[in-house]
Structure 1
């Protein structure tokens, strides 16, 4: 999960005081004695949070684990999404300042199953259905993010905490049916034919398929996209003769290279327009379709050209 040759500094652990993250702390402390550090985040949303952080601090003190409490403010909007953004931003800064080689969170198989069902219900594409990744980067930073407990069930993690004589905190929002995840969690608990471990395995298979698409998209970028510097600025020429899923990734990368940013849904709609030989405007970038005979292979190929969108005239 965290190869020894990649380790540079302690493993940072995000620990809330709930049973999952306390189990992470206990297991990591045993596996990497003297090489872990813990941070707990108070989102400022519940008065009980101070006591939960004190619980984690006491558990760390007993085990000589360095501990840091982080206080954040959550912006208005989608509460859970904003809290997640603020939490990862704070943890990323802490991990960097503490010299951590990576940050670990306590996501487990039940979380993975819930995420898959929620994203299926929203019509997510393959990238979303791949679920919670075992490896990644802390959003907005270059800190490695690992999730070593994805193969564990929640009940097993609770057993670890109980065996060590700790009483975990319980976040009431986890049971609040106003939130989608709580409703999905209740649904899983009420229907035993929905096996969380099997759903998590399906998410793993989807993640493997997504890695194949990422690999193919990298080749598409390297071999089928050419930059041309022209008087009005850079233009990218893209020989777009691959499946749509690959086109979407390459179009997003071209737009990013031209200083824009678009979602996969937006890139997909643009790719559909270009495939119909219609211009597409997205993220400040203009895409223009055409064809070109490639003598090397002796066939006519679709070629899409992208350049910064001209400034609109104001009368």
Structure 2
């Protein structure tokens, strides 16, 4: 809970829907002097309603400020959820956030996974803590009205109006062009998310049916699916072998392999070839994954 109108609306709605069954936490990133007052606002609101509250303080590492702050926040919240044995972490992302995210990622040339936008349900980066976003169907103006009716004056983060951030510029653009419908953009993101879930389902089948492990820890992948599916399978195999690669890296490896060239990816050497598959009665691409041998120096 940041103390802003979105998170305060989530707090009020959750308390109304599940009284006695929620807890709240507020994170101070140590980046703004006003943050302690915002944490106090959330604490006071929770105390008035009998909601268990925890204040969390984190340190933000160097690099992209917003990205590092998000990483630190989710890490702290994940530990808090585990310590309190809560069922899930809920955040206050809404339809306006979804529309802004879609436009930002379109401008960056994101793939389908990125264009799927903010997911209604996911896992925290720890891979274990459920993350839910129950407000994706709500407009920001609706959430602000809920907070106003409750007589709460929410906190306002000045960074949300700083044009140095891409999201702020996109938000301003949306406000200036009424032909860009937030609801329609958010709906498109939902459709893209459904398409991505279909890709994930197909990729899981591809792994189960077309990836085989050798006794020596190597893998052979019979690649006979569209590029977008093969990329997910390639990433999964490399992860199984202890590596980690992005989708763009896996895509470049796919292109090399499709041309019949070796590819090196995350410490894994992939050698393309063809093998006859008796059960299918055809010859198929067979890409062999093995730990990359150490390089010699002279």
Normalising by structure 1, we get a TM-score of: 0.94
Equivalent position of 1:298 in the other structure: 281
Give the deviation of 1:141 after TM superposition: 4.2
Q: How far apart in 2 are the matches of 1:143 and 1:276?
A: 41
Structure-1 residue corresponding to 2:167: 181
- Cα separation, 1, equivalents of 2:257 and 2:77: 41
Per-residue deviation at 1:314?
A: 2.4
CA distance in 1, matches of 2:28, 2:172: 26
The SS at the match of 1:116 is helix
1:56 is matched with 42
Q: CA RMSD in A?
A: 0.6
Q: 2:79 aligns with which of 85, 93, 107?
A: 93
**SS of match in other structure, 1:36:** coil
Cα separation, 1, equivalents of 2:76 and 2:104: 26
1:138 and 2:121 aligned = no
Confirm or deny: 8 A CA contact 1:92 1:141 kept in the other structure. Answer: no
Specify which of 231, 238, 254 is matched with residue 255 of structure 1: 238
Map 1:1-315 onto structure 2 (within 5 A). Answer: 15-230=1-216, 234-315=217-298
Distance 1:98 1:273 in 2: 48
Q: Per-residue deviation at 1:96?
A: 0.6
In structure 2, distance between residues paired with 1:141 and 1:267: 21
Q: TM-score, normalised by structure 2?
A: 0.99
CA distance in 1, matches of 2:177, 2:33: 34
Distance 1:97 1:297 in 2: 51
Provide the secondary structure at the position in 2 that maps to 1:152: coil
Q: Which runs of 4+ in 1 moved over 3 A?
A: none
Q: Tell me, what secondary structure is at the counterpart of 1:310? A: coil
In structure 1, the residue corresponding to 2:179 is in which secondary structure?
coil
Q: Give the superposition deviation at 1:38.
A: 0.3
Stretches of structure 1 that go unaligned for 5 or more consecutive residues are 1-14
